[in-house]
Amino acid sequence: MTRPLSFQTVTEAGPPEETDKDSLDKELDLIRARREGDKRFFRGAFEDYTLLTGLIIGAVFFGGVFIMSSGWVASDSIVIDKTLSATPLDPGDECVDKRGEVWFNVFYDVDGHVIKVISHNVDSEIETVIGIVIVISEAESITLLQGGFGDQELEYDPDNLENGHYNASASIWQVITESSLEDMSQEELQLLVDSSGVNLESKSFKIENFAHVEIIDEDPRSCWTIQGLGNWGWIMMGAEWVGGREAAMLTGGSAGIPAWWMAMVSLGMSLFFLCVQYPLMHKMYHRDTNDILNDEQLSRMISRTLRRSTEKLHIDIDFDKLKMQLRTISIDLIVPYTTRSTTIEQPSDIRAVLTKGLLEEFAVFGEMKPLQMKIICLDEGTHESHEGNRRSLALGEIPVLMEDYSDFFVNMSAYGWLEVAANNSLNRWFKKHDLVDYGTAVLSDEDAVFVRVIYKPVTRFTYFLFKPTYQDMQEDLHAHLSNDLLKYLDGKVLIVSARNEKATLSDRAMAGRVEDATLGAYGIARKGSLSDGVIGGLISAAVVPNDGKEELIGEALVARQGGITGTLLQNPFMGDILSNVEYIANKNQDRIEKYGFWFLIVFVWIPFMASGVLVGAMLGLVARMRFQRVLAACLMGGTAASLTWAYTAKGIIEFMERYHAEAFIPFVILLAIGFTLMHLRRNKKKRREELFRESMEFFAGSSEVI
């Protein structure tokens, strides 16, 4: 719900009285003190122990799968699968131990549209010939042979077979020859088998070729080794990460993976991500009821933060015309300001400083909504006039002389010494920090001394390795010049502006997450980003025509969280996931508030796309449910979902095979993956459209309002 709010309408009577301001300031100071009181990451709360449990689960689960797949421990053991087969955990026939004996795996490869025969456990040192014989009639059969060392894999294209039922067999022979088996023809291989072949193993099976090819193999399945289960564990994890639980279960089921192992892999992933990421999200988003800012407190916090920045920037903000729009999805600001004679920063620098101050306060008070802001200079002509005067001084232009010539020459002499001293001081500062001078200007008038610096670090891999932000460098330069130019200032105010020619990670990291408004449906993505440069100063929205279409342009910034939480959840990859999780949770907030705990269980359990344990956890967090209740509901729903899919995937596949529709299994898997990706992309698009469209309307009316 949109809640337009301006500082003019905080109360019906107009701007808040001083007593109201004092009261709001006291409330804000109390909230600040509570939130800054205990900065420890691990405070011994329930969510901290949950996080610790999740890390232990992750170490055991992922470490266990890694050890299994590596083959370091009992790689050929089938004890687990053998023990659990034909039990309630793995209903059906008991698997067979085929270790140490030659056996065949015969199946129809849907992707390759071929029948595959693969031998196992043949000594890699002996020469072998594998063959497949398909009986067409009593007088006719098809034989296909292939030779090499050790185990062999043979493929046959069934398109040559007419519709019908066929008996077939597969055999492998050990042979002795001086020639290369790979270079022999079918006739030569047949003569070799007939003359010296020793049969190692044979297998009979049936082929049904109608609408689809089906292999009927009545032999019981071979037990999976520990290493085989480990390898398939990684495959199913990748499938679940890309296409969700449904894709993973169908992938594993089509390969004959036991249901208990599919359920364990899915459950292990759910437990790890829930017990690790949910406590981290709770640390980032959760606020006690007393710490949640109401509209008046939020407006007062923004007002006093902007007011503190005015002296640093040497501007005056018109708080009577300042506008704010509060929404569930963002906070939008219109900030009108006027310049002073001592204003040196450009609008982009002013916007950057205001943004940084607001985001820092948002982080303190736990306000994680994206911020969008438009600044408006009410006296651009005056600003340009001041710049013109300073530019004239910088170029050495001589102003019109008045009657008092002596004062003029005294001032010119003093300015000359000041400029020399400032340039010498700047050279030392550049050397101290190993910087390249990309442009400096020293300007002075009767009230102030202005120093503008553009620098570039010499350090290699500057983006990652140069730690100070432009704000840090600006403060350091101010202190450096204040000390060196003390005797030349003569009571004048020293105003310093520093800008890094090359954006660095430290500058960009002032915002925890940047949301770009560019949408594919509204035009082609722009080259670069509005957040390039200082810290992404431009965070307002606009509509730009693009070949008859609308293009949303703008950026919104989310307050940065420090420490482990910010590092793990506010990198670009996780930040994109988190924004989609927030959106889905906000969309379902009314349902969770109405139905509560049981709806959350069903939401996580039923296979809606993108409705896993993390979305359920965020949903409970948005609805302000207790941490323990959310954790319990997500655990119950996630466990039910893993078990449901694991033990129905095999039934789904068997049903499709019964009706000769097994060719659709890969299609169903790809469909599940594609649908999930489309669903996430659609949510991302809808979120960005909702995030920026109302903001555009709000900002579009600013020229009429101000």
Q: Are the C-beta atoms of 481 and 422 separated by less than 8 Å?
A: yes
Mean pLDDT within 384-411: 42
Local confidence band at 293 (pLDDT 50, 70, 90 cut-offs): confident
Least-confidence region, from 278-282, 477-481, 574-578, 672-676: 672-676
Asked if residue 35 is part of any domain, the answer here is no
Mean pLDDT, rounded, for 579-601: 72
Residue 236 has pLDDT above 70, yes or no: yes
Q: Which pLDDT band holds residue 39 (cuts at 50, 70, 90)?
A: low
DSSP per residue, 55-102: HHHHHHHHHHHHHHHHTTTTTT--HHHHHHTTSTTS-SSPPB--TTS-
Residue 359 domain-assigned (yes or no): no
pLDDT at 620: 78
pLDDT value for 144:
92
The amino acid that residue 18 corresponds to is E
* Between 461 and 3, residue with greater pLDDT: 461
Same domain, 700 and 578: yes
Q: Which residue has the higher pLDDT, 574 or 138?
A: 138
The DSSP element (H or E) to which 3 belongs, if any, is: strand 3-6
Task: Classify burial at 527, counting beta carbons within 10 Å of its beta carbon; exposed 0-12, middle 13-18, buried 19 or more.
Answer: exposed
Does residue 66 surpass a pLDDT of 60?
A: yes
Of 523, 539, 542, nearest in space to 330 by CA: 539
Identity at 590, one-letter amino acid code: D
Say whether both 79 and 103 belong to one domain. Answer: no
* Residue with token string 């790890």: 272
Nearest-angstrom CA–CA distance, 173 and 175: 6
Retrieve residue 564's tokens: 């482990």
238 within a domain of the structure (yes/no): yes
Instruction: Provide the token pair at 115.
Output: 């029948």
Among the residue ranges 165-179, 487-501, 659-673, the one predicted with the least confidence is: 659-673
Q: Do residue 70 and residue 106 come from a single domain?
A: no
Residue 247 has pLDDT above 80, yes or no: no
- Residue at a domain's end among 197, 219, 241: 219
Instruction: Name beta bridge partners: 499.
Output: 454
Q: Are residue 690 and residue 594 in the same domain, yes or no?
A: yes
For 538-553, what is the mean pLDDT?
A: 47
562, part of any domain: no
Q: Give the range with max mean pLDDT: 57-61, 666-670, 699-703.
A: 57-61
Question: What is the Cα–Cα distance from 263 to 266, expressed in whole angstroms?
Answer: 5
| Band (60; pLDDT cuts 50, 70, 90) | very high
Same domain, 705 and 620: yes
Q: What mean pLDDT is predicted for residues 486-515?
A: 71
CB atoms inside a 10 Å sphere around CB 615:
21
71 touches 227 (CB < 8 A): yes
The Cα–Cα gap between 537 and 554 comes to: 11
Helix axes 572-587, 664-700, angle to 10 degrees: 80
- In a domain? residue 487: yes
Both 132 and 239 in a single domain? Answer: no
The pLDDT assigned to 646 comes to: 82
Tell me the HSE value of 488 on the side-chain side, using a 13 A CA sphere.
25
8-17, 259-268, 574-583: which has the minimum mean pLDDT?
A: 8-17
DSSP, collapsed to helix, strand or coil, labels residue 5 as strand
283 and 332 Cβ atoms separated by less than 8 Å: no
Are residue 118 and residue 205 in the same domain, yes or no? yes
How far is it, in rounded angstroms, from Cα 552 to Cα 657?
Answer: 49
Q: What is the pLDDT of residue 519?
A: 41
Report how many domains make up the chain: 3
Sign of the CA dihedral 478, 483, 486, 488?
Answer: negative
What angle do the packed helices 613-622 and 259-285 form, to 10 degrees? 30
Give the pLDDT score at 16: 52
57 and 103, same domain (yes or no): no
Q: Do residues 235 and 211 share a domain?
A: no
Judge whether residue 640 has pLDDT over 90: no
In a shared domain, residues 584 and 694 = yes
Tokens linked to 624: 């302000």
> What b-and-e string marks burial along 204-240, b requiring 16 or more CB atoms within 10 Å of the CB?
ebebbbeebbbbeeeeebbbbbbbbbbbbbebbbebb
Residues 6 or more apart in contact with residue 253 via CB below 8 angstroms: 259, 262, 649, 650, 652, 653
Q: Which of 55-59, 274-278, 676-680 shows the lowest mean pLDDT across its residues?
A: 676-680
Q: At what angle do helices 226-254 and 627-658 cross, to 10 degrees?
A: 70
Evaluate whether 567 touches 509 at the Cβ level (below 8 Å): no
Q: What is the pTM of this model?
A: 0.54
Last residue of a domain, one of 484, 508, 532: 508
Is 71 within a domain? yes
CA nearest neighbour of 104 among 163, 168, 148, 192: 168
Q: List, edge to edge, every strand of the sheet that includes 198-209.
A: 140-149, 127-137, 164-174, 198-209, 213-216
Task: For residues 557 and 286, give the distance between their C-alpha atoms in angstroms, rounded to a whole number.
Answer: 19
The pairs formed by 422-426 with CB atoms below 8 angstroms and a separation of 24 or more are 422/449, 422/451, 422/481, 422/484, 422/485, 422/488, 424/484, 425/480, 425/481, 425/484, 425/485, 426/451, 426/453, 426/481
Residue 544 forms beta bridges with which residues? 551
Q: Give the range of the structural domain holding residue 168, as residue numbers without chain letter.
A: 97-219
What whole-number distance in Å separates Cα of residue 154 and Cα of residue 659?
27
The dihedral sign for the CA sequence 345, 349, 355, 356: negative
Rounded to 5°, the CA angle 522-527-531 comes to 95
Please give the average per-residue pLDDT across 196-221, as a whole number: 84
Last residue of a domain, one of 455, 489, 508: 508
Phi then psi for residue 312, to 5 deg, are -65, -35
Q: The domain spanning residue 441 has which CATH number?
A: 3.30.300
In whole angstroms, give the CA distance from residue 504 to residue 469. 8
Q: Give the amino acid at 322.
A: L
pLDDT in tens, 687-704: 777 777 777 777 776 554
Model confidence at 172: pLDDT above 90: yes
Does pLDDT of 534 surpass 70?
no
Give residue 8's pLDDT band: very low, low, confident or very high (50, 70, 90).
Answer: very low
Per DSSP, what are the bridge partners of residue 205? Answer: 168
Assign 148 a pLDDT band (cuts: 50, 70, 90): very high
Look at residue 233 and give its three-state secondary structure: helix
Q: Mark whether 659 and 599 lie in a shared domain.
A: yes
- Per-residue pLDDT of 356-368, as tens digits, reads 888 888 888 888 7
Q: How far is CA 553 from CA 66, 324, 515, 678, in A?
A: 45, 20, 11, 23
Q: Is the pLDDT of residue 67 over 90?
A: yes
Q: Kindly indicate the confidence band of residue 553, based on its pLDDT and cuts at 50, 70 and 90.
A: low
Take residue 229 and report the two structure tokens written for it. 């289960």
Task: Indicate whether 299 belongs to any domain.
Answer: no
Q: Which two tokens stand for residue 405?
A: 């010539």
Alpha-carbon span 656 to 317, nearest angstrom? 69
What's the whole-number average pLDDT of the chain? 75
DSSP structure string for 443-511? EE-SSEEEEEEEEEE-STTHHHH----HHHHHHHHHHHHHHHTHHHHTTPEEEEEEEESS--HHHHTTE
**Which helix (H) or strand (E) element contains residue 107?**
strand 103-109
Percent of the chain with pLDDT over 70: 71
Is there a domain that residue 253 lies in? yes
Same domain assignment for residues 585 and 638 = yes
> pLDDT class for 395, splitting at 50, 70, 90?
very low
Adjacent-strand bridge partners of 106? 117
Q: Is there a contact between 538 and 557 (Cβ–Cβ < 8 Å)?
A: no
| Rg (alpha carbons) of the chain, rounded to whole number | 36
- Average pLDDT of the residues in 435-456: 81
- The pLDDT, as a whole number, for residue 346 is 77
